[in-house]
Structure formats: structure tokens, C-alpha cells
Amino acid sequence: MTTTEVDARKDTIRRKVWNLLDQQGVVAGEGSAYGRIPNFIGADVAADRLAALPVWKDTRVIKAVPDKAQLPARARALREGKVVYMAAPKLAPPQPFYLLDPAELTVSAEDAASSRTAPSVARNVGLDELRPVDLIVCGSVAVNRHGVRIGKGAGYSDIEVALLAQAGLIGPSTTIVTTVHPLQVIEDDIPETNHDFSVDVIVTTDEVITCTPPRRPSGLHWEDLSADQIAAMPVLQSLQNR
């Protein structure tokens, strides 16, 4: 399957799931799931279910996406004293991660975990300042029971995971989890590219699905990154020039 065919297939799946979520009225607050990581009704329930897992209890450092669906998980992590790294929009700053350290917060965990507030209360850090990550919490538009997921199509989550792997901050033992609405768990096969990662665990409002074996990149695949992507992300330029 060519890259164009893979992209087209993924887009078909995205549209199918976005339409389904809208039709069933399970998107919170935003009116439509389209074009987003869906902020599904019950995200707080999924976060509670995630927090009951042993891997969560053993975690000290989390890398989490900034999407609203994962806000309850980020806030809970901060309330429980866990350090949270959250990517800045489009990985655009030279130091592309926000460091949310519960010991240094001057606002509530809920406020600090918000993508709107985090830039004003968190310090930007680069790969060289990150601690090894115990758990990655990612968002998805769709995911199948093998753990293969699709995001909204920009590819930033995949690059973030590849960056962490390249820097030695995650490895085969690092758990990757996604929280989703049950309607986002599909039976379809999902095509993958070199940078795509799969998840170890899917947490919904109803169940916890363990996926084995996980698939993830060991680092960046430069041949799959466009010149425009590299130009837009100083962290990529820095690594390329080393």
C-alpha cells in the first residue's frame, strides 16, 4: 500500500468515526467530533478506570497529549503528585514540551492541566531536560483491539513518541495507553507507516483492553519527514544537525 493509499484509508476511517460520534451525540461541549481528537462524554470515567490500573499507580512521570479528552487524566496525575510533560502546539518552540511539576504549580491541577493555562504556568523544556517517561497517555480518533490507532492526521503524536524513543526516554517497557469512547474502538484493520505507534492498553468508559504485542518506532525515520515538517520544528533541526 502506497503512502497515498494509507493516508486515504486512514481518512476514511476518521470520517466514519467522527460521523458516528456526532450521530450518537457522545461529544462533550464542542458540538462535533470532526477534525479533532474527540472530547467524548465519559472522559472522566475513563480516566478513573485508567487510574485504577497498576501501571498508573507505579508511574511517576507521564507524557500526555494536550487534548481535552485527556484533561481528566492529566489533572488526576498532577493531583496525585506525578510529573506531566505535555507537548507545545505543533512542537513549534525550540524547547517543545511543557513541564507540569505538582511541586511547583501555582494554580489548581485542573487549571494547570488545561492546554490553555499550561503555557502560562509551566516551564518549556527540551529533550535534554526530560526525565525518563514511565507512561504515555495519548488521544485517538479510532483504535482497534490490536492497539493500532489513528490520530486526527497531523502526525505530531507519532513524532513525539519517535523523539522520546530517539532520546532514550522511552523503551519497550514504557506503557502507552489511549483513553477513548467505546464507539472509537473499531474492528477494521488500520494501515501503519514507519512512524506510527500502537498502544499497549485501551481504556474506555466500559472496559480495559490489553493489546499485544505493541508496535512503536525506535527513533525518527528521517526519510519519512518532509522538509516542511523539519523546518517547522526546531527540535528536528537540532537533531538533524548533530
Neighbours of 11 (CB within 10 A): 12
pLDDT of residue 3: 81
Any idea how long the chain is? 242
pLDDT of residue 241: 78
pLDDT of residue 154: 85
Domain count, the chain: 1
Per residue in 141-186, pLDDT (tens digit) is: 999 999 999 999 888 899 999 999 999 999 988 999 999 999 999 9
Band the pLDDT of 71: cuts 50, 70, 90: very high
Which residue segment(s) compose the domain that 80 sits in?
A: 3-240
Are 83 and 113 a contacting pair, CB within 8 Å? Answer: no
b (16+ CB within 10 A) / e for 89-128? eebebebbbbbbeeeeeeeebebbbbbeebeeebeebebe
Per residue in 118-149, pLDDT (tens digit) is: 999 999 999 999 999 999 999 999 999 999 99
Residue 103 is classified by DSSP as: G
Percent of the chain scoring above 70 in pLDDT? 100
For residue 99, the domain's CATH number is 3.40.50.10420
Percent of the chain scoring above 90 in pLDDT? 81
Per residue in 16-60, pLDDT (tens digit) is: 999 999 999 999 986 789 999 999 999 999 999 999 999 999 999
